[in-house]
């Protein structure tokens, strides 16, 4: 993996990046930091024809995907994406555990599913050890069943009728979960942008065209935002970069 644009990483341009160098290159810019990670085809598709982002990512994307998780305190994903992609409770890739510990991050990586209806995705059902959280609303029809399923401490009420992302982030920060990564889907990323609640967009652009049908990576609620390129790496024609939201 080659470093094309080093930004403020302190690494030389065109350097070959191992896991330790990627940790340095993708380190969070501030103590409290919210970023997304999305993959897109060259023609802007957020998924392959099967409706899953997993069908367009590749080996290069997988490396950065795991590094970004390993650098995070918590991963936030829309409940629909959890269901579509089959997310289980998360763990850090074995090869990155030592780097994560050296960065002062805990071994546990909680997953937060965001659902206005309060429905627990089947792959997370029954997980009561704090690795699976649900963010929902006070009026959600599934609120009480979710509490019964995951445990009351693992269900975060973040608004009355729809999840308020600022309330959610405050609740996560109160738990010491300061480095927040969202992996979408497009609707949730659009909501983060509309709320002005995100600091950085990480994108993987795969050298593939998927044609009409798949959604774009930012949902309809997303508002225009200007961004600054911070980092760009490349492997086998796949581009992976960091863009900071301009304040």
C-alpha span between 222 and 238 (Å, rounded): 25
Q: How many structural domains does the chain have?
A: 2
Reduce the DSSP state of residue 8 to 3 states and report it: coil
Mean pLDDT of 14-27: 97
C-alpha closest to that of 240 among 210, 203, 212? 203
Note whether 64 and 80 are same-domain residues. no
The tokens describing 16, both together, are 């070959």
User: Could you read off the pLDDT of 109-162 as tens digits, one per residue?
Assistant: 999 999 999 999 999 999 999 999 999 999 999 999 999 999 999 999 999 999
Note whether 67 and 80 are same-domain residues. no
Note whether 223 and 166 are same-domain residues. no
pLDDT at 8: 93
C-alpha span between 192 and 22 (Å, rounded): 25
Find the length of the chain.
Answer: 247
Q: Which domain holds residue 44?
A: 34-72+200-247
Mean pLDDT of 32-59: 93
Classify residue 82 by its DSSP letter. Answer: H
Percent of residues, the chain, with pLDDT higher than 70: 100
Q: Which helix (H) or strand (E) holds 233?
A: strand 227-235
Q: 191: number of CA atoms within 13 Å, CB side?
A: 19
Q: What is the CATH number of the domain that holds 241?
A: 3.40.430.10
| Lookup result for tokens 């899953």 | 52
Residue 23 falls within a domain, yes or no?
A: no
Q: Which of 178, 212, 233 is the C-terminal boundary of a domain?
A: 178
């Amino acid at each position: 993996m080659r470093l094309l644009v080093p930004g403020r990483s302190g690494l030389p341009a065109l350097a070959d990046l191992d896991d330790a160098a990627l940790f340095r290159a993708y380190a969070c810019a501030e103590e409290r930091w919210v970023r997304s990670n999305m993959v897109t085809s060259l023609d802007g598709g957020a998924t392959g024809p099967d409706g899953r982002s997993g069908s367009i990512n590749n080996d290069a994307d997988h490396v950065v995907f795991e590094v970004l998780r390993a650098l995070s305190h918590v991963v936030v994903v829309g409940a629909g994406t959890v269901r579509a992609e089959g997310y289980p409770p998360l763990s850090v890739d074995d090869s990155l555990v030592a780097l994560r510990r050296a960065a002062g991050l805990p071994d546990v990586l909680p997953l937060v599913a965001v659902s206005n209806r309060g429905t627990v995705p089947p792959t997370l059902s029954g997980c009561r050890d704090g690795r699976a959280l649900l963010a929902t609303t006070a009026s959600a029809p599934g609120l009480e069943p979710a509490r019964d399923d995951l445990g009351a401490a693992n269900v975060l009420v973040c608004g009355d009728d729809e999840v308020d992302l600022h309330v959610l982030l405050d609740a996560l920060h109160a738990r010491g979960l300061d480095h927040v990564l969202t992996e979408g889907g497009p609707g949730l990323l659009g909501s983060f942008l509309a709320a002005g609640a995100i600091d950085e967009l990480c994108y993987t652009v795969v050298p593939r065209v998927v044609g009409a049908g798949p959604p774009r990576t930012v949902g309809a609620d997303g508002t225009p935002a200007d961004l600054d390129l911070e980092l760009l790496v490349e492997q086998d024609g796949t581009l992976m970069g960091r863009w900071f939201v301009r304040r």
